[in-house]
Structure formats: C-alpha cells, structure tokens
Structure 1
Amino acid sequence: MNPKDVTKKVFNKEDLFILDVRNETDFEDWKIEGENFHYLNIPYFDLLDGVEGILDKIPSYKEVLVVCAKEGSSVMVAEMLSEQGLTVSYLQGGMKAWSEHLEPVKVGDLKDGGEIYQFVRIGKGCLSYMVVSDGEAAIIDATRMTDIYLEFASNIGANITHVFDTHLHADHISGGRKIAETTNATYWLPPKDAREVTFEYSPLEGGNVVTIGNTNIDIHALYSPGHTIGSTSFVIDKRYLLSGDILFIDSIGRPDLAGLAEDWVGDLRETLYSRYRELSAELIVLPAHFMIIEELNADGSVGKPLGTLFAENHGLNISDEVRFRQMVTENLPPQPNSYQEIRETNMGKMTPDDDKQREMEIGPNRCAVR
C-alpha cells in the first residue's frame, strides 16, 4: 500500500488496523494518524522468532497495514503474517515515504477564473499552496519535495512565476528557493527573517501587491510577526487568508523557535488580537500547518472562516494579556527535530544531502502552542 492509498483512507475516514513495528519511543512520538485507525505497536526485534504470539491481536475483519521506518522490516513481518494465513499489506517506503508524501487538494476557484490548491503533507502536517491564474502560478511555503509542484504546474499548463515563504521555517526545509532557481521565478522572503541568509531574494514587505495572471496577492498591512519577527500573511482574492504559522485551526503559532519567546509573544498577541481582528470574518484561513487529523475537512483540505476561529480557537479568546503570555510561554511543546540546522539550511548556511535532510525532518511538526 503506498502513501497515496493511505492518505485516501485518512481523507475518507476509513477503518484501518496498523501494526507498527518500530521502537515504542518512535511510535509514541510520531505515527500515521486517522480518525478510524487502530494500532498495535510491537517492535520488529520482538517478532524475529515468529508472529504466532500476536495473531490473536490482529483482527481478521479489518484491513491490516504493517509499518516500519524504511519498509524492509514491515515486508518481513507482513510475509510472516501471510504465511500464517492473514491478508495484510505493508507501507511502501515506510515512514520515510509517509513523511514526504504531498496530496494536492483544490481549495476553491478565484473570482477571475483562477484556482487555489493546497498541498497536504499528511505525515508531517505541513500545508503549502499554489495559486493559479491565466497560465501563471505562485507557490507559497513549498516543501523540499520540489518535483511535485513542478509536475503539478506542468500538468495544468501553468508557469511558476513567483515563490513565497511566509517566514523562515524551522520545522521543515523550504523548497522555495530551489523552485525559483529552476523556473526563473521571483523568490520572496520577509527581510526581517532574512538578515542572515546567504542568497539573493526579493523582500516581502507590507505594501507589496503581486499579480498572478488575473489575481492579486495583496500583502498590504499584513505584516504579522509573532511566530517569527518577519512572519507575513497573504490575503488572496479577498477570500482567503494564508496565515503561515501565526494562526492554525485549533491553536496558535509558537514564538520561541529563535529563542525569543518572551520578546515575540507580544508581537504574536498584536497580530492575532489586533491585525487579524481588522480583517473580514468571512476570510477562509489557510494555515501552513495542521496539528491534529481532526482539523481536516471532508475533502482532506484544512481551512475555516476567520470568524469561526475567533469563536472557537482558545488561543484567540484570552482577554487578559498576562494570562495570554503565560499560556503561550508555559505550553510550548518540544522543539522540532534539528530545528536550528533546518533554520541554517533555509538561510543557505548549510547544504545537507538528501539523506541528511530526511533525517533532519523526521517526526511531527511542532509549530503550535499546545
């Protein structure tokens, strides 16, 4: 079973029984999530002498998927279960492939004939975007799996003319600069996040209006610091708010990934409680990450009206500033794996090979306050 097959089961809320044969700590830290998935975690080394001891724990009436880190161990366990008469599948490429799978979902049509697509990195919780209009495309918050965006744009007959990062990412390696170099597109980055970068870029600042075909990406007055000092949001077509890592569906962005939580928490509150309050409540918030699988809509996309989030998101409803500061600074999850190395890679200071990049990104995203 490949990652795309499993993603469809997540989107469709299908039943699936997962036998995960990684170590317990790896399983507890990060696993394949689905609303109707059930799990059994038995490390591979405990099964080297045979699978007879777990046969009564594996349901015969459910579809069964065996999962490991890179595929090899799950193939062997699946073969042993098959020899015992069970029908099972294994995850092609293992959790490595699960981490890298991107599923494009059409979010909606734009007023002047364009479209906006969301690329759901289902195993990592990352969300990136492609805005298409009149044969041109802009990409926002691209992952390092750049071929997927290039192939998708080619298949729909669009030329990539602009690439944006809403901020300097710390949980995953950006593919924005590579896409821009490949397509000769303009690469935009907030200058306050780019003080240490080693490459040329176009400064993404309040007041810029970038046209994609017939569609304006208007970033005027949407400088939105708090997750980073340069974080910038986009309003697209007066219908969509791309909030980066400032606002999520069920949480808000963490301000500490540059070690400046106490300094940036005030910026975070100003963005969420003042700047965003001035925007239309009808804007559909499209964040750069999702935290839990329940945030996915019925079609697999992630997004909700801003007004709904102001009513339901706890992080937007703490009137006392002191309590807000405490809530943010005292409820920070562990830092993302290799986050400092990822930041330096996105600055151009490091150039790790593909295997090292995979290793740096392994694990769940941790961009939100708990």
Structure 2
Amino acid sequence: MAQAMTTKEVTQKIIRREKMFILDVRNEDAFQDWKIEGEQFSYLNVPYFDLLDGVEDILDQLPTDQNVLVVCAKEGSSIFVADLLEEAGRTVSYLAGGMKAWSEHLEPISLGSLNETGADRGEVVQFVRIGKGCLSYMIISEGEAVLVDATRMTDVYLDYAKERQLEITHVFDTHLHADHISGGREIAEKTGATYWLPPKDAPDVTFDYAALEDGSHVQVGDTQIDVRALYSPGHTIGSTSFVVDNRYLLTGDILFIDSIGRPDLAGLAEDWVGDLRDSLYNTYRELSKDLIVLPAHFMLIEELNEDGSVAEKLDVLLANNHGLNIEDEETFRKMVTENLPPQPNAYQEIRETNMGKQTPDREAQREMEVGPNRCAVR
C-alpha cells in the first residue's frame, strides 16, 4: 500500500526547495483554480474518473527519480490511485487529508528576538498557512503572547501557547476578513484574552469587542515590548497596521511583498482606492524605512524566504513593489480598479461569519474557504 505524506512534510519540501512531482486527480477546473505550489514541483492533472480502469496510460508520464505525490480533494481518491500505482510497480505517496488538510496546515516559523536587552528579548512567530497564503502572528514576551490575524484553526495557536507555557492576553484582527474565517474571537473566549477589532469595520457585528483605533497601545510582558496600532484604511475602511517594538510593521492586507491590497471586497473599490493610496504613499512613507514588513498574506510561493518566512524591509518594498511606485494618482486608481482578481470563494458568507451573523459548522467553514486567497491587486 502507498504511504501517506503529511502536510507538514510537503511544507518542508517547499521550504527546502526540493523537487517533487504531483499527480493531482481532481477535476481540471479545481486544479487550475488552486493547487499545491512549490518552486521545484512538477505537475500532472488527470481526473480520478479517468483512472478507474487503470493507470497504465500515465505510467510513462511519471518520473522514477523523484518523489511522486498523489493529491485529491479529501484523500480517498488519491489513496485509490496511489495503490494502483504501487501495484504497477511504482513507489508513490498520497497527501494525507487531501487539499482540505492542505488548506488548514499552519507552519510556525520564528522571526527572531525583539528588544536587545534583558534575559527575555521577546520573539515574533509567524504562522504560515502555506496552502492559502494566510499569515498570522504571535508576539511573545515574559510568558505573555499577543495574536494577530489568527485563523479558524484555533487549536494550533492554543497548543503552541500551552507547549511554550504562554498566556494569550490580547487577540487582534487587523480588519474584518473576507477570504478566511477568523479564529480571534474564539481564542479570546477560550483564554480570557481581550479581542480587538477596528470599529469602522464592525458596525454590524453581533458581539462585544475592544475598539482597535489609531494609537492604541498594548504591552507584552514585563520587558515592555510595545504593539502600536496605526490606522491604514484601503483594503477595508477600518484596516489597521501595527508597529511592534519599532522593528516590525504588520500591514494586514494593505501591503504585501509583491503586491498591494484590493479595496473592493465590500463593493466600494471606487470609494476606498483613495484611502489605499494614502495609506501606502503617505502613512507608510512616514515610518522608519528599516521596519520589517510582515503582511497578512502572500500571493506567490516565490515570496517565501529561505527559512519559509514571508518578510522584507520596508525600504526594499518602497523601491521594488510596483504598487508603491505609481506617481500619477489617476494611473494608480485605474491600475487598482481594473486589475482586480475574482473575488474569494464565499466571501460574503465569510464576512457574515466574521461578523457573528452566521455560525456555520466546521465542515461548512472548510467548504467556504476552499481555494486560493485573492486579497491582492494583480
């Protein structure tokens, strides 16, 4: 029988830039919309139903000198095909849990210490949701932790905090998310932490929250690592960034490594594009150019650094990110409003879930989030 390969094992192959061949047995439209991406990966897409009578026709298309991974939506079809390939004399693996598991994998990556003095210098940990391009953060000091833009896979953060003996004291969402379901409120309820949300994004929410406004400060631990809120609208009207310890700039969905945020997920692109430009071209340019930008998403697998993290200095982005280098305002406006990708799957339902207006069960939440993130201007 074929062996399972876990999502963590696949993630490590992506980070190490290893070669791998993926046989994706989902339908072509699903494969074209969203797949496992790696810089050194090769692909063959043959729908499962075309392989029910055997795999002989594809044997000569599969390499024998590298790992072959069979992938499907939930696991069952890939196990069937992988076993047929094993019976035909090939050594292959299948993705445990399929693309649904791939969508949910979070890889914690330490970004290093914060302040330079004291026995506990603090730390920022980036949780990379490799299959969806979502990035969330845990800011740690003196046994305390602050979470930013947590996903619905709340156990990952809670288990990580328990393993490191951390108390989660504050949970932030930089904005009302439309591409994925936030786990922030659930984590706050389970830990007793304060849940913060920008009030301009929250007029219709059904729950209590702390108002995240420009200039809000939160201290983490006794070493006084400071998390300062910076109002930066454009992706949403309430979008808020954070400056952490005068070293990191958490930009939410306003600024990415290779692109900028889209302003249309509330149907207000023409209204919000001016706010987007002001945040990018004025607010951010007044900050220290040495700040390291930590976005809430990445778009391309090539944006991962050698250690798997997604981070870059602000001055590098000011020089190289096309969205930050369009001098004419009208040209910028056209570039943003005329290059919007398809809207995220079920984004209206996701927004209403994050408002507390819907309470879908776990399986419904998984279905709502299937597919790539689409938070950036192309």
Task: Tell me the TM-score normalized by structure 1.
Answer: 0.99
Aligned to 2:110: 106
* Residue type of the alignment partner of 2:307: D
Aligned to 1:280: 288
From 74, 77, 81, give the equivalent of 1:77.
81
In the aligned structure 2, how far is the partner of 1:306 from the partner of 1:280?
Answer: 8
Kindly state the Cα deviation for residue 208 of structure 1 after the two structures are TM-superposed.
1.0
Identity %: 72
Kindly state the Cα deviation for residue 108 of structure 1 after the two structures are TM-superposed.
1.4
Query: Equivalences for 1:137-286 in 2 at 5 Å?
Result: 137-213=145-221, 214-220=223-229, 222-286=230-294
Q: Is the 8 A contact 1:118 1:301 kept in 2?
A: yes
In the aligned structure 2, how far is the partner of 1:215 from the partner of 1:106?
Answer: 20
Aligned to 1:308: 316
In the aligned structure 1, how far is the partner of 2:375 from the partner of 2:97?
Answer: 26
Task: Tell me the TM-score normalized by structure 2.
Answer: 0.97
In the aligned structure 2, how far is the partner of 1:218 from the partner of 1:179?
Answer: 19
In the aligned structure 1, how far is the partner of 2:6 from the partner of 2:245?
Answer: 36
Q: Is the 8 A contact 2:240 2:252 kept in 1?
A: yes
Kindly state the Cα deviation for residue 218 of structure 1 after the two structures are TM-superposed.
3.6
Aligned to 1:28: 32
Please list the CA deviations of residues 104-161 of structure 1 after superposition, one character each: whole Å capped at 9, or x if unmatched.
Answer: 0001101151110000000000000000000000000000000000000111111000
* Residue type of the alignment partner of 2:228: I
From 35, 38, 42, give the equivalent of 2:42.
38
Q: Is the 8 A contact 1:171 1:336 kept in 2?
A: yes
Aligned to 2:348: 340
3-state SS of 2:316 partner: helix
Q: Is the 8 A contact 2:22 2:44 kept in 1?
A: yes
In the aligned structure 2, how far is the partner of 1:280 from the partner of 1:155?
Answer: 35
Please list the CA deviations of residues 292-346 of structure 1 after superposition, one character each: whole Å capped at 9, or x if unmatched.
Answer: 0000000000000000000000000000000000000000000000000000000
Q: Is the 8 A contact 1:136 1:160 kept in 2?
A: yes
Aligned to 1:94: 98
> Alignment length, in residue pairs?
369
From 127, 139, 142, give the equivalent of 1:134.
142
Query: Equivalences for 1:339-358 in 2 at 5 Å?
Result: 339-358=347-366
Kindly state the Cα deviation for residue 216 of structure 1 after the two structures are TM-superposed.
3.6
Kindly state the Cα deviation for residue 215 of structure 1 after the two structures are TM-superposed.
3.6
In the aligned structure 2, how far is the partner of 1:115 from the partner of 1:207?
Answer: 22
Aligned to 2:369: 361
Structure 1 residue runs of 4 or more that deviate by more than 3 Å after TM superposition: 215-218
Kindly state the Cα deviation for residue 290 of structure 1 after the two structures are TM-superposed.
0.2
In the aligned structure 2, how far is the partner of 1:363 from the partner of 1:107?
Answer: 27
Which residues of structure 2 form unaligned runs of 5+? none
Aligned to 2:8: 4
Kindly state the Cα deviation for residue 46 of structure 1 after the two structures are TM-superposed.
0.3
In the aligned structure 2, how far is the partner of 1:218 from the partner of 1:361?
Answer: 29
Q: Is the 8 A contact 2:122 2:225 kept in 1?
A: no
In the aligned structure 2, how far is the partner of 1:82 from the partner of 1:207?
Answer: 60
In the aligned structure 2, how far is the partner of 1:19 from the partner of 1:53?
Answer: 13
Is residue 139 of structure 2 the alignment partner of residue 121 of structure 1? no
3-state SS of 1:219 partner: strand
* Residue type of the alignment partner of 1:53: D
Please list the CA deviations of residues 68-97 of structure 1 after superposition, one character each: whole Å capped at 9, or x if unmatched.
Answer: 000000000000000010000000000000
Aligned to 1:292: 300
Q: Is the 8 A contact 1:10 1:34 kept in 2?
A: yes
Aligned to 1:50: 54
* Residue type of the alignment partner of 1:58: L
Q: Is the 8 A contact 2:188 2:194 kept in 1?
A: yes
3-state SS of 1:233 partner: strand
Q: Is the 8 A contact 1:188 1:204 kept in 2?
A: yes
Q: Is the 8 A contact 1:114 1:215 kept in 2?
A: no
